[in-house]
Amino acid sequence: MNRRSGYMLLLLQKEAHSWRNNSSLDDMGPRCEPSSHPFGLCKTRAAAFGYPCEDHMVTTEDGYILSLKRIPHGVSKTENTTRIPVLLFHGLMVDSVSWVLGTPKQSLGFILADGGFDVWFANTRGTNSSRNHTSLTPDDPEYWNWTWDQLAAYDLPAVLQHVYDHTGGQKVHYIGHSLGTLIILAAFSEHRLLHLVRSAVLLCPIAYLYKTKSKLTRLATQILLAEAFHFLGYREFNPVGPVSHEILLIICGDPEIDCYDLFTAVMGPDCCLNASTVCNFLQHATQSTSIKNLIHMSQMIRYEGVRRYDYGNAKENMKHYNQPRPPLYNLSSIPTHVPMFLTHGGQDFLGDVPDTRHLLNTLVRTHDSDNMEVLYVPDYAHADFVIGYNAPQLVYGPMVDFLQRH
């Protein structure tokens, strides 16, 4: 961290003093009734609605032990039917329960199971059900020494290979939201995992972030906030933990940031969420990530292009990459035969329209027209695609049609 960012950190802490004394973190979102126990995908959500559910464990090459959930069929099983596997990969700072927070007719995980698919749910390293490691614990700083580079290089292939192996060698339909789209695009750009994937669905792709509309996210990036907390020795970022509290105290010193509606400030004005689902999301789906991962995301906002993690100087980059700047993920090199369904919203602050159009121009320019489908939903923001009450009609119906054709 340089002197300027350190000075900015101290200045903003001072400006946040009055906000600290007169505000409460409880006022930043919808008022929700306290929950007595955390949601679990299998034991709470699937069991409540009569769905079968399995727990699987997968160990990555770098030693992280990941939880993988499976709903092999719907409530009413059709005998002697071959079910194509689908893998759902969640976004940043959530876990797989985000796919089943609504009723069976609203939640994508249940809709796919009832629609004849064998549904698998990934949970990245650091989330509540994936915090084990072969030699480290979450209390070890080294446990959090990763970014989405490692999710693409280790978590994603380990999970996909497990699903492939446990479903008779069938190729897998992949559905990612937000960060889940970034890691599959990164893998495809290096021509990895193509032998395991049947098609890819990208909900709110965030490959390019240079023009993100979130003032909160931009301010945090501008003042090198994640870098500052890393410099101070923090390694884990829990969105409902003490580090998050301190970060908000700093950010909310800026009068342009609306800290009483953080959901909108970060993701955009969602059109189609009901209060109970939002409360379920805030209470049960939010999960930890690494501070280093947030630094990597900040680098994507600060600089154009999709690159590996920048270690901050040519010497360190040379040590890791044998070149002074981090290598680019060349998304234009993604093979044109991979079927893709891409959907995005006009109100999304993270997967904003200009950045998503940049991605579309990169992919559509070379992609086979029969293998690319794009769905634009003008009123949707980031969370609508996962927990919107009308997503089954607007998004999931066309998506399932796409999966069935491929």
Class of residue 76 by CB neighbours under 10 A (exposed 0-12, middle 13-18, buried 19+): exposed
Residue 21 lies in a domain: no
What does the DSSP 8-state code read for residue 338? S
Is 67 inside a domain boundary? yes
246 burial type by CB count under 10 A (0-12 exposed, 13-18 middle, 19+ buried): middle
Q: Which domain holds residue 229?
A: 38-405
pLDDT in tens, the chain (406 residues): 444 444 444 444 443 333 334 444 344 455 676 665 667 899 889 999 999 999 999 999 999 999 999 999 999 876 667 899 999 999 999 999 999 999 999 999 999 999 999 999 999 999 999 999 999 999 999 999 999 999 999 999 999 999 999 999 999 999 999 999 999 999 999 999 999 999 999 999 999 999 999 999 999 999 899 999 999 999 999 988 888 888 888 888 888 887 878 888 899 999 999 888 888 888 777 899 999 999 999 999 999 899 999 999 999 999 999 999 999 999 999 998 899 999 999 999 999 999 999 999 998 766 667 789 999 999 999 999 999 999 999 999 999 999 999 9
With CA atoms as reference, report the closest residue to 71 among 55, 60, 58: 55
Distance CA 195, CA 191 (A): 9
Q: Is residue 16 part of a domain?
A: no
In a domain, 11, yes or no: no
Has residue 31 been placed in a domain? no
Give the count of domains, the chain. Answer: 1
Does the residue 47 lie in any domain?
A: yes
Interacting residues of 27 by C-beta distance below 8 A, sequence separation 6+: 260
| Residues marked as catalytic | 178, 348, 382
Q: What is the pTM of this model?
A: 0.91
- SS3 of 228-268: the string is HHHHCCCCEECCCCHHHHHHHHHHCCCCCCCCCCHHHHHHC
Angstrom distance (rounded) from CA 113 to CA 351: 28
- How far from 400 is each of 34, 81, 88, 202, 389, CA to CA, in Å? 35, 17, 13, 13, 17
In a domain, 50, yes or no: yes
Considering the domain boundaries, does residue 13 fall inside one? no
Q: What is the CATH number of the domain that holds 279?
A: 3.40.50.1820
